[in-house]
Structure 1
Amino acid sequence: MSIMENSEKKLEKSNFKHYISYGFAQFSDIIAYQSFTLLIFTFYYTNVELDVSLITLGFIIWSIWNSFNDPLMGYISDKTHTKWGRRRPYIIFSIIPLAVVMVLLFTPPMGAGDTIKLVYFIIIICIFDVFYTMYNLNQTCLFPEIFIDPQERVKAMNVKQIIGIIGLLVAFLLPSFIIEDLTDPASFPLYRYVGLIIGIIVIIGATIFLIWGPRERLEFSKDHEKAPSFFKSLKIAMKNKSFMWFIVVEVSNWYVFGMLPTIVPIYGKFVLNITDSFQLSLLLGETFICGALFISVWKWVVSKLGPRKTWIISQLTWIISLIPLFFISTPTQGFIFFAFIGIGLSGSMLNIDLILGDVVDEDEFDTGARNEGGYWGVTAFFMRLSTILVFISINTILESVGWKVYDPETADEGVITGLRILISLLPSIFLGIGMLGMFFYPLHGKRLAEVRNGLEKIHLDKKSKTGM
């Protein structure tokens, strides 16, 4: 019996061990990316002292690179065929390089001029994205392929998001145990120690997944033969109406996912007067603790209303919780209102993968093959587009209030208002756009039932052809 056959038999009855071990893949993913999101802007803006316009330029070039890197990785993954499956070889190969890059992100050549610093910044974040995408795309593609049954998928997502929120807590709290003030240039050498610890944690979580995690299903072992060409896969994804409306909502969500941790260190210090990095980390930490407490509630709502309606409700809840951030000004108020942000955030986190899983299912229903890689590649590209929007927003607002170069002595009322706009007003506008997009999302009701019922027959046929 081959490795894949043995794994498939075990996977016929997914158990809690599969959910937990897959959750550790998500754990490493979140630790890497959210640490990047939380630290990279603050580090290069306040410690390396790069002009905010140069940082924005770097992220624009990074996103142009991603426009090729992410979809290409998805295409390559879909076309891969090995005895270990399509996805696992890339996960294995990416782990160590990703861990090393987590340190190199925080080792720029400080004795050089701004041009050299900018070139280093661009090169290292592009290298980060190569290995992060290789890991993230392939472990994420496994989710809808491994957990086929809708009820099983919701259970797995519930466990995955709880572990993911623990990962968020670690990503946000860990730096505070090493760095007292993230915005203090004297903290520069401490960032690399944070990167080293994060790299070690990434390796541990990914290894747990690789040893005990579920394997790819045997009935999809021939899908690489039907995978479309690179440009055709892009065309298929971009012509899929369900997918394109999903993208509208996804970009709005990832804009907020990106903006909050990026701007909180500066917002917390200058608007809420919180200078201790541990308290700043707790500010974000309580958001995700609250989110973890509400995941079971959102799971129940999904079972009653379906992913589409649930996502609309979660977006509205999130908007309501963000509005007070425009008006508060004390640490106590911050700790009160940041907790409520987690309610809407957890609903959005739960639904993103569920909705995209349905989109991939619909594509398989229409084409007869699963092309997760192509869809996740395009999805990853739009995620990076949301990052461009985040930094264009930050650049525009900070330049307009005279804070192009970090200077704590010039943080006047104009700067404080700008920070309020970045953390409250702009995210609320984007979430409103996301709500509108989900109203037009067509994969629900009768169409979703048609896809799910049709897939049962398709999968039975594939199993019979593979001799299972």
Structure 2
Amino acid sequence: VALVGVALGAILPPLFVDFGVPSTYILQAGVVIIVGFIAIGLAIPGVRDDQDAVDRYLETYDSIEKGPPFFKSLGTALKQKSFIAFIVSYTLYRTLVQSMTASVPYVVDNLLGLDEKAAIPIFAGFLIGALISTPLWVMAAHKTNNNKKIMVYCGLLMGIFTIPLIFLEEFLLVVIALLIWGLSIGGYWAMIAPVLADVVDESIVKLKRRQEGVYAGFQQFFGRLAIFFQALSFTLAHVFTDFATDPYSTA
């Protein structure tokens, strides 16, 4: 679902945006906001606790063993090598995905010289590749019984499949390259939850207590940090290439 959401989040805006017309960006932002509110409304029934669950929690609240302070739990988590490896890999993955999706409008407008609608088949290729490959990667993980190995393979393939995108300047080749790139990202995405679950299980065995919230919170923090890394890299690229000064230069 999250994978489809990212793809649709990239496919929908070009339907309403005209490059160089600022008012159309306001329109597409409004459309995305409406879609977001609809998604939130549909999610509410699934995240709301029923009254029985609330009552059971309140009845046992006083008897629940209090865990260590957050920062102590965080320090313990950072001593776990598997967790550090997961976080580093996850941050790099999110940074790559953020950079890739943010680069497509630049490619369409400045490199391919096409209108904004050309971004739709490019992102569609990425989505198709991910949807096709995800069940295959899941089957491979079940067969090998090694989620971490599949995640590493997919991460390496993402890096390899990214290299040709640096040099391509033909529309059809870009679409095909994004489709192939999606084949690797689908597997990595499918392995995130199982690998994190393995990391949490390892911590439970070692520490004799559960602290999923610390691990999940740290994952979300570094996932959001990837947005900063993407914005920073784009800013530096604009500054050092004078792209912001003349976006249509040959530099």
TM-score for the superposition, normalised by structure 1 = 0.48
Match of 2:28 among 187, 191, 196: 191
Q: Which residue of 2 aligns with 1:172?
A: 10
Deviation string, structure 1 residues 12-71 (Cα, Å, up to 9, x no partner)? xxxxxxxxxxxxxxxxxxxxxxxxxxxxxxxxxxxxxxxxxxxxxxxxxxxxxxxxxxxx
Q: Given the alignment of the two structures, is residue 307 of structure 1 paired with residue 144 of structure 2, yes or no?
A: no
Structure 2 residue aligned with 1:254: 94
Q: Which residue of 1 aligns with 2:130?
A: 291
Taking the aligned partners of 1:164 and 1:386, their CA distance within structure 2 comes to 16
Identity %: 25
Query: Structure 1 residue 246: deviation in Å?
Result: 1.1
Q: Any conservation in 1 of the 2:95–2:227 contact (CA below 8 Å)?
A: yes
Match of 1:316 among 148, 156, 162: 156
Per-residue CA deviation, residues 273-331 of structure 1 (Å, 9 max, x unaligned), is 2322x321331122022101111110111112311211121122212221211111121
- The CA distance in 2 between the partners of 1:196 and 1:255, in whole Å, is 24
Whether 1:325 aligns to 2:165 is yes
Three-state SS of the structure 2 residue aligned to 1:413 is coil
**Structure 2 residue 122 is matched with structure 1 residue 280:** no
Residues 1:412 and 2:249 are matched in the alignment: yes
2 CA distance for matches of 1:177 and 1:212? 37
CA distance in 2, matches of 1:212, 1:225: 22
Gaps of 5+ in 2: none
Q: Are 1:227 and 2:64 matched, yes or no?
A: no
Relative distance call for 1:351 and 1:394 in structure 2 (3 A) is same
Contact 1:273/1:331 (8 A) holds in 2: no
**Deviation for aligned residue 1:211:** 6.5
Counterparts of 1:274 and 1:228 in 2: how far apart (Å)?
Answer: 56
Conserved 8 A contact 2:3-2:189: no
- How far is 1:195 from its partner? 3.4
Name the aligned partner's letter for residue 265 of structure 1: P
CA-based RMSD of the aligned residues comes to: 2.6
- What one-letter code is carried by the residue in structure 2 that aligns with 1:279? A
1:242 counterpart = 2:92:
no
Shift of 1:212: 10
**Distance in structure 1 (CA, Å) of the matches to 2:176 and 2:193:** 29
Which ranges of structure 1 fall in alignment gaps of 5 or more residues? 1-162, 415-468
Identify which of 41, 47, 62 aligns with 1:210.
47
2:180 corresponds, among 340, 356, 363, to 340
Counterpart of 2:12 in structure 1: which amino acid?
L
1:178 to partner: Cα distance:
2.5
What's the CA shift for 1:368? 3.0
Counterpart AA for 1:173: I
| Compared CA separation, residues 208 and 302, structure 1 to 2 (3 A) | same
Name the structure 1 match of 2:243. Answer: 403
- Partner of 1:380 in structure 2? 220
- Tell whether the 8 Å contact from 1:272 to 1:330 is kept in structure 2 after alignment: yes
Give the distance between the partners of 1:281 and 1:371, measured in 2 at CA: 41
C-alpha distance after superposition, 1:58-93 (max 9, x if no partner): xxxxxxxxxxxxxxxxxxxxxxxxxxxxxxxxxxxx
**Mapped partners of 2:75, 2:64: distance in 1:** 18
Q: Shift in Å at residue 270 of structure 1?
A: 1.0
Q: Which amino acid aligns with 2:16?
A: I
In structure 1, C-alpha distance between the alignment counterparts of 2:122 and 2:105, rounded to whole Å: 10
> CA shift at 1:189, angstroms?
2.8
CA 1:248–1:184 in 2, change beyond 3 Å: closer, same or farther? same
State the TM-score, normalizing by the size of structure 2.
0.86
Q: Secondary structure at the match of 2:148?
A: helix
SS in 1 for 2:221: helix
Shift of 1:262: 1.6
CA distance in 2, matches of 1:205, 1:166: 16
Tell me, in whole angstroms, the C-alpha distance in 2 between the residues paired with 1:229 and 1:273. 55
State how many pairs are aligned. Answer: 244
- Asked if structure 2 preserves the Cα contact closer than 8 Å seen for 1:322 and 1:341, the reply is yes
Shift, 1:364, TM fit: 1.8
Answer yes or no: is the 8 Å Cα contact 2:125–2:178 preserved in 1: yes
* Structure 1 position 402, deviation (Å): 0.4
Counterpart pick for 2:191 among 351, 355, 370 = 351
User: Counterpart of 1:337 in structure 2: which amino acid?
Assistant: A
Cα separation, 2, equivalents of 1:402 and 1:169: 30
SS at match of 2:12: helix
- State the alpha-carbon separation in 2 of the partners of residues 392 and 177 from structure 1: 27
**Partner Cα separation in structure 2 for residue 363 and residue 236 of structure 1:** 9
Q: What code does the residue aligned with 1:366 have?
A: K
Aligned-partner Cα distance in 1 for 2:243–2:227: 20
Q: Describe the shift of the 1:233–1:314 C-alpha distance in structure 2 as closer, same or farther (beyond 3 A).
A: same
